[in-house]
């Protein structure tokens, strides 16, 4: 069954009523005279009313047409107001921004950065969902996500905002007690603290030049929280493999020590992910640009 568009013919009707001419209305709307005439005729048929008196020289509203125009008197103003509001969403950061991010990144970086962003953009409200799960953005009503290693749907845009190297590290006290591994396979004899959600499973992959070694991991502690694993490592619980954005401060302070420094455990790229829409709201564009700028200044999120 064909659905009738209740707005069909309204613009043509209002233009003819204002200009009292089908020809002038067609020029004003950038349409042919035949199109304007057909749209008004369709509108009259739908209403079951004649809206205009027509002659070869004059076009005048009927009483029904006057009443109809009167009820529509503010529609053009309201449409203009709606267009300005929509453009404002595209031009200036305003409105609610709903995003999701992993806990380790959110706690150390995102929350303080978000607070700074809000102070500079008083028209924006932020709602942050902290989760290790890869949320479905469009279905979940999210404007933006910050993610690490990802598979991206074709209806999403990704922008890399930083890269964070992995450290294989432990507390000095643990290493004094258990010894320092000389080669990746020596890790098998140690208490290992494993980040449970790793997609590659219980495997630590390490490279040196052209060499690649895959170390099977039987974790002493498996946890889906990087900050929790860091705390376990600080307490001497074993050797962990964690990104710099979690352990960077502890490494620099000497509270954790990198082991196997000649072997790379890789990097985790951080992406801003958002729905593919050419009219992306200004608040999304502004916040993504802000994230990239702040991440570039952080040594634990450096691209290099």
Q: Do domains 10-73 and 92-163+269-301 have the same CATH topology?
A: no
The CATH code that applies to domain 92-163+269-301 is: 3.40.190.10
Alpha-helical runs (H) found in 121-276: 137-140, 172-178, 226-234, 244-253
d(CA 146, CA 44): 53
Percent of the chain topping pLDDT 70:
88
pTM of the model: 0.65
pLDDT confidence of residue 136: 82
Classify the phi-psi angles of 9: left when phi > 0, otherwise alpha if psi is within -120 to 50, otherwise beta. left
pLDDT tens digits, residue range 42-51? 988 988 889 9
Q: Look up the CATH number of domain 10-73.
A: 1.10.10.10
The CATH fold of domain 164-267: D-Maltodextrin-Binding Protein; domain 2 (3.40.190)
Q: What is the pLDDT of residue 86?
A: 58
Domain ranges of the chain: 10-73, 92-163+269-301, 164-267
Q: What is the pLDDT of residues 185-211, one digit of tens each?
A: 999 999 999 988 666 678 899 999 999
Show the low-confidence residues of the chain (pLDDT under 50): 1, 304
Predicted confidence at residue 94, as pLDDT, reads 75
């Amino acid at each position: 069954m064909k659905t009738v568009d209740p707005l069909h013919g309204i613009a043509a009707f209002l233009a003819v009523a204002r200009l009292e001419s089908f020809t002038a209305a067609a020029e004003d709307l950038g349409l042919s005279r035949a199109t304007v005439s057909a749209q008004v005729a369709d509108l009259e048929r739908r209403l079951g009313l004649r809206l205009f008196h027509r002659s070869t020289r004059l076009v005048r509203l009927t009483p029904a047409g006057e009443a109809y125009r009167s009820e529509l008197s503010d529609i053009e103003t309201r449409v203009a107001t709606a267009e300005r509001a929509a453009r404002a969403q595209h031009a200036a950061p305003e409105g609610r921004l709903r995003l999701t991010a992993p806990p380790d990144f959110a706690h150390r970086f995102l929350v303080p950065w978000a607070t700074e962003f809000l102070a500079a953009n008083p028209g924006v409200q932020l709602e942050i969902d902290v989760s290790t799960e890869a949320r479905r953005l469009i279905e979940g009503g999210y404007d933006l996500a910050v993610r690490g290693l990802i598979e991206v749907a074709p209806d999403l845009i990704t922008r890399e905002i930083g890269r964070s190297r992995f450290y294989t590290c432990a507390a000095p006290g643990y290493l004094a007690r258990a010894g320092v591994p000389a080669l990746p396979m020596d890790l098998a004899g140690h208490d290992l603290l494993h980040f449970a959600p790793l997609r590659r499973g219980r495997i630590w992959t390490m490279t040196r030049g052209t060499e690649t070694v895959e170390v099977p991991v039987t974790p002493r502690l498996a946890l889906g929280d990087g900050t929790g694993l860091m705390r376990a490592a600080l307490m001497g619980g074993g050797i962990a493999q964690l990104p710099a954005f979690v352990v960077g401060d502890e490494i620099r302070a000497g509270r954790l020590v990198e082991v196997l420094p000649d072997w790379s455990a890789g990097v985790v790229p951080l992406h801003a992910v958002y729905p593919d829409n050419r009219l992306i709201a200004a608040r999304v564009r502004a916040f993504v640009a802000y994230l990239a700028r702040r991440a570039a200044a952080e040594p634990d999120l450096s691209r290099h």
